[in-house]
Amino acid sequence: MMRAGAHLMATGVWRKASRFWSDRRGIAAVEFALIMPILLIMYFVTMEASQAIETSKKVSRIGSMVADLVTQQTSVVQEDVKAIMKIGSVTLQPYNRSVPTITITAIQVSPDGAKATVVWSRTSINGGFSVGATGETTVPATLKVANTFLIRVESTLVYKPVIELAINSAFNPINMGETYYLRPRRSVAIPCTDC
C-alpha cells in the first residue's frame, strides 16, 4: 500500500523533470559552445589560405619586376643589382615571416644555339648577397636562340603558415617560386663590370 505523501513526492519529481526537459532557454548557449570551435578553425584556415595565395602572387611579382628592372639597363654593377634585389624583397610587405631568395643570372646563348653560358650571376639569400650560378646552364628550348642574351630571375620563398608559428605544429612550410626569362630592352647585352 502506498502512502499519499509518497505519491505526491513522485508526482513532484515528474513535474520537475518534465519542466527541466521542456526548458529551452540554455539550448542556444550549448549549440554555440559546440559550433564555435569549428567556426574558428574554418575562419583561420580561410584566412591562411587567402594570405598564402596573396603571398604566392607577390613572389611571382618579385620575379617579373626584378627581371623588368634589370633588362631596362644597358649595364650594371654589383650595387645596382643589390638595389634591384632589395626593391624586389620589399614587394612582399607586409608579409615578414621569411625572406625571399632572389637570383639574377645573365645568360649568353652560343652562336650555334647549342650552349647557354652564365655571364654573371648574383644571389640574395636571407638578406645577404653572393655570387650565383657559374658555367653552363639550362634554358627552355623556345628561348635557346643563337647569339641571344637573356636575364633569368628566380624568386623563391618558404611560406610559413601562421598556424605553424602559433602552435608549433607539424604543418609543413610551403615552397613558392617563379622563374622569368627576359631579353635586354635597350642593348644587345647587359654586362656587369664587377659581378
- pLDDT (tens digit, 9 = 90+) per residue, 66-79? 999 999 999 999 99
CB 155 within 8 A of CB 42: no
- 112-115 long-range Cβ contacts below 8 angstroms, 24+ apart: 112/146, 113/144, 113/145, 113/146
**Residue 164 pLDDT > 70, yes or no?**
no
**Residue 104 pLDDT > 90, yes or no?**
yes
* Residue 7 pLDDT: 52
Q: How many angstroms separate the CA atoms of 103 and 1, rounded?
A: 97
* Residue 44 pLDDT: 85
For 26-30, what is the mean pLDDT?
80
Query: Does pTM top 0.85 for this prediction?
Result: no
Give the tens place of pLDDT for each residue, 145-158: 999 999 999 999 98
CB 181 within 8 A of CB 143: yes
Residue 57: CB atoms within 10 Å: 12
Q: How confident is the model at residue 165 (pLDDT cuts 50, 70, 90)?
A: low
**Residue 195 pLDDT > 60, yes or no?**
yes
Contacts of 81 (CB under 8 A, 6+ apart): 70, 104, 122, 129, 192, 195
How many residues appear in the chain? 195
